[in-house]
Amino acid sequence: MHSSPPRAEASDCCRPWATKSGGEKSDGTIENAPEIGIILGTGLGGLANAIENQTIFEYKDIPGFPVSTVEGHAGRLIFGTLGGKKVVAMQGRFHFYEGWTPQQVVFPVRVMWAMGVHTVFVSNAAGGVNPDFRTGDIMVIDDHINLIPNPLVGPNDASIGPRFPDMHGCYDPELRALADKIAAQEGIRIRHGVYVGGTGPTFETQAEYRYFRAIGGDAAGMSTTPEVIAARHAGMRVFGASVITNVGLSYEAGDHEDVQKQGAAAGKKMTTLFTKIIEKI
């Protein structure tokens, strides 16, 4: 009745499915399997350029990969080095609101795990519901509230992780502390808070923003929580940050173009923050 969640075997995941060459060994595996995975959401687009020794695969050339439909989201998997670490970065992610199943949304995270990634970095755009937040702020995600259907619903693949994963310390406390230290050194002001992942694609009503605040949220978004759940299920460490692109509890209308503009503006700070953390771990 049910089929198992997509599971990529480590041996499959290291194969160059695509035709691009460079960085591949003669046995067909990628040289330098990555240890760090990065999901380049809003604000981290520039980080792609900082990755050295790139080998790039288009999602459309990778069997099993969904292909993003959202404007502003490319669809490429970039292998290389950043801050002296071997990384794989997803340029373009998958959202539940596009119509992908929660399992499809997290498929790339499982591919990262199968390749040997131990820490996942994730960024996103979010609407501030904490009244102290301002447009352009960067919020380190301390915790989340997931309102998107859970990607672990269905038969559990025990070879990936447990049936009932613990979610304490979901966003790695050491990495959050490191972010504070680096932000102070670099003169970057960061906020901390709880990210509420909703399905979208509508921006929230005023009542819904108030509800997100009332249940303990600081920022509202439409991504991230499924990928983080899948990463934690597989035992990977997680660091996440949001660019606050709009302030929900105001009369500003939600606007996708504005979200992209604000994301780009905060991007430089986000890129510095992420690169320095990766350097230090």
Binding footprint of ligand HPA on the chain (CB under 6 A): 125-127, 203-204, 220-222, 245-246, 248, 254, 259
Q: How many helices (H) and strands (E) does the chain have?
A: 7, 9
Q: How far is the CB of 198 from ligand HPA (least distance, A)?
A: 6
Q: How far is the CB of 172 from ligand HPA (least distance, A)?
A: 23
Task: Closer to ligand HPA by CB, 17 or 97: give it.
Answer: 97
Q: How far is the CB of 41 from ligand HPA (least distance, A)?
A: 10
Q: Collect all residues with Cβ–Cβ distance below 8 Å to 27 and sequence separation of at least 6.
A: none
Distance (Å, whole) CA 236 – CA 151: 16
Give the DSSP per-residue string, 227-255.
HHHHHHHTT-EEEEEEEEEEESSSSPPP-
Distance (Å, whole) CA 246 – CA 128: 6
Q: How far is the CB of 71 from ligand HPA (least distance, A)?
A: 14
Task: Closer to ligand HPA by CB, 172 or 204: give it.
Answer: 204
Task: Closer to ligand HPA by CB, 30 or 241: give it.
Answer: 241
Distance (Å, whole) CA 249 – CA 205: 9
For residues 267 and 43, the answer to whether their CB atoms sit within 8 Å is: yes
Q: How far is the CB of 104 from ligand HPA (least distance, A)?
A: 20
HSE-up (13 A, CA, CB side) for residue 212: 33
> What is residue 45's three-state secondary structure?
coil
In 3D, which of 13, 107, 11, 96 has the Cα closest to residue 66?
107
Residue with the CB atom nearest ligand HPA in the bound state: 127
Task: Closer to ligand HPA by CB, 27 or 257: give it.
Answer: 257
Q: Collect all residues with Cβ–Cβ distance below 8 Å to 207 and sequence separation of at least 6.
A: none
Give the tokens for residue 72: 């502003």
Task: Closer to ligand HPA by CB, 44 or 182: give it.
Answer: 44
Task: Closer to ligand HPA by CB, 91 or 246: give it.
Answer: 246
* Rg for the chain, CA atoms, rounded: 18
Distance (Å, whole) CA 97 – CA 226: 12
Task: Closer to ligand HPA by CB, 43 or 66: give it.
Answer: 43
Task: Closer to ligand HPA by CB, 57 or 203: give it.
Answer: 203
Q: How far is the CB of 68 from ligand HPA (least distance, A)?
A: 16
Q: How far is the CB of 202 from ligand HPA (least distance, A)?
A: 9
Q: How far is the CB of 248 from ligand HPA (least distance, A)?
A: 5
